[in-house]
Amino acid sequence: MPAIAYTVVASFPDLATRDEYIAWLEDGHIDAVIRHGAHAASIIRITEPPSPVQVEVRYTFSTRDLYDIYIRDYAPALRSEGLRRFPPARGISFSRRTGEIL
């Protein structure tokens, strides 16, 4: 069974908001996702093209079952916390995608 890559891309209105988001990721959010099933994560500060200001977070789950458990049991609360801190009203948007690692 292939490992699963789960990617979250966040777009920000400015660098200060982007940096606040990165600090939040590093201050416990990434660790929470790992505690709940991911076995690795990377934070990528997008540099090209220079606009919009974006951060990509790539989580790796060793199996589809672990990913499915995370999405069902843990993601809703973690997403809710993220949206409370970084709501669309602040000019922030999120997109997500999932794929199999070959």
Q: Is the pLDDT of residue 51 over 80?
A: no
- Reply yes or no on whether the pLDDT at 8 is more than 80: yes
If one counts the domains in the chain, the total is 1
Instruction: Name the pTM for this structure.
Output: 0.92
Q: Name the band, by pLDDT with cuts 50, 70 and 90, for residue 93.
A: very high
Could you tell me which residues are beta bridge partners of residue 8? 57, 96
Residue 50 pLDDT exceeds 90 = no
Q: Give the phi and the psi of residue 75 in degrees, each rounded to 5.
A: -60, -40
Residues 4, 102 contacting (CB under 8 angstroms): no
Reported confidence tier of residue 49, pLDDT bands at 50, 70, 90: confident
Residue ranges in 1-102 assigned as alpha helix (H): 15-24, 30-35, 64-69, 75-85
Domain with residue 61: its CATH number is: 3.30.70.100
Cα gap 19→92, rounded to integer Å: 13
